[in-house]
Structure 1
Amino acid sequence: MQNKFFSPSLMCADFTKLPQEIHDLEAAGADSFHLDMIDGNFVANLALGLQDVQAIRALTTKPLAAHMMINNTHRYIQLFAQQLGVDTLYIHPEADPQIVKSFMEIKAYHKHCGVVISPNTSIAMVEELFNLVDFVLVMTVNLGFAGQTYLDFVTTKIKKLIPYKQKYNFQIVVDGAISPAKIAELGAIGVDGFVLGTSALFNKKEAYQDILPQLRELN
């Protein structure tokens, strides 16, 4: 069984008790934390702010991955990679007219970079970027809102990515309505990382310490 990694989406956490949430998720075995950065323009919603990222960085030494749903993302690389201490930046090609330059800048800060494939983004649009990235983040719902239904047609796109993953040596991460059943299905296909929200982790009766080990055992 391949090694999977799990990245809880802190947009779904209870911010009234954030230190306890992060402590409990770490104790449960979270590998990293996923941060949804939404500017209200690229996506019609608002999510985590800069002070949230600062607070999270102060509370954990686990890797932080920022999903940059922000127009003109290239303007914010130094802020997130150097000043805020984010370890991975996921960028949408539609939001960054200088995405190659952005990836090079991220790597200059010795951080990891990933390209995001939205449901409406074709593999052909981003194929030439695969030799630059560490991760390909595949969105399996429409952008910006929790609690959506998994878009089944995206599974076909994920399957088509596997040969590229093997050729370019990046890891595939999925985000959106990722249930235990989807973890089992997509893990078997070759997906490496799973962003966890309300479908598998948050707002459950069970404790994180009970849920995450069970997810890790799924084939």
Structure 2
Amino acid sequence: MSMLLCPSMMCANFRSLEHEVNALEEANVDIYHIDIMDGRFVPNFGMGLQDLEYIRKQTQKTVDVHLMIDNPSAYIDLFADKGADIIYFHPESDMHPTRTIDRIVGRGVKAGIALNPGTAIAAVEPLLGMVDYVLVMTVNPGFAGQKYLPFVNDKIQALQAFKHEKGLNYTIVVDGAISEEKINELTHYGVEGFVLGTSSLFGKEESYKTIINRLKNI
């Protein structure tokens, strides 16, 4: 699989979301990443359903939702109905994560789990054979602009080793303070997907197209 570049739409300029999406389409990004927060599982609120609906209508590309919410199983049908192609949730926020994965897959949506920096791989090993994506948080979730936590590199390498040892097919995606230098480093660890925020894409003087083209050539 080629590198997946996934703009974190929480970092976009919401005064002109239409312009932002058009520029990202022109840049040929791979996946639109939409953070959904409830103010309980993480101490912040993310994007709304109207944002998801608007972005879904503007693109044929893959759209994912990252559910940083309590009891995500109650909302799987809602986000599937809104057109999400990938749904990530945090297993520790769910009483029955295997059932939630089954519900996602049953809706014809790709299933992903998101791992906080402090979540051990051993805690989610039974789930890894059931999912299409593993989203590794390289900062504590909920806020943009944090510093990359280097100890997470060991978890990424362990996930890659486990994947090969067990013959699994999940795609490893990283999210949090992902700079151009980190992309260059983490591709060597087997990371295939990168959520792009203010460290590499948004708020720069260069166009999205210029940045995305350079990143794709790393």
Question: TM-score, normalising length from structure 2?
Answer: 0.97
Structure 1 gap ranges (5+): none
Aligned to 2:130: 132
Is residue 2:91 matched to residue 1:93?
A: yes
The superposition leaves residues 148-203 of structure 1 with CA deviations (integer Å, 9 ceiling, x where unpaired) of: 00000001110111122222111000000000000000011110100000000000
CA distance in 2: counterparts of 1:165 and 1:216, whole angstroms? 24
Aligned to 2:197: 197
Deviates more, 1:134-143 or 1:13-22: 13-22
SS of equivalent to 1:56: helix
Give the aligned residue type for 2:190: G
SS of equivalent to 1:182: helix
* Matches for 1:37-52 after TM superposition, within 5 Å: 37-52=36-51
Give the aligned residue type for 2:68: M
Give the aligned residue type for 2:215: L
Deviates more, 1:55-64 or 1:120-129: 55-64
Give the aligned residue type for 2:47: L
Paired residues of 1:165 and 1:172 also in contact (CA < 8 A): no
Paired residues of 1:36 and 1:48 also in contact (CA < 8 A): yes
* Matches for 1:171-186 after TM superposition, within 5 Å: 171-186=171-186
The superposition leaves residues 16-63 of structure 1 with CA deviations (integer Å, 9 ceiling, x where unpaired) of: 111111111111120010000000000000110111111111111211
Q: Sequence identity of aligned pairs in percent?
A: 48
Structure 2 gap ranges (5+): none
CA distance in 1: counterparts of 2:162 and 2:3, whole angstroms? 19
SS of equivalent to 2:172: strand
Aligned to 1:148: 146
Is residue 2:207 matched to residue 1:207?
A: yes
Runs of 4+ in structure 1 over 6 Å off: none
Question: TM-score, normalising length from structure 1?
Answer: 0.97
Aligned to 1:69: 68
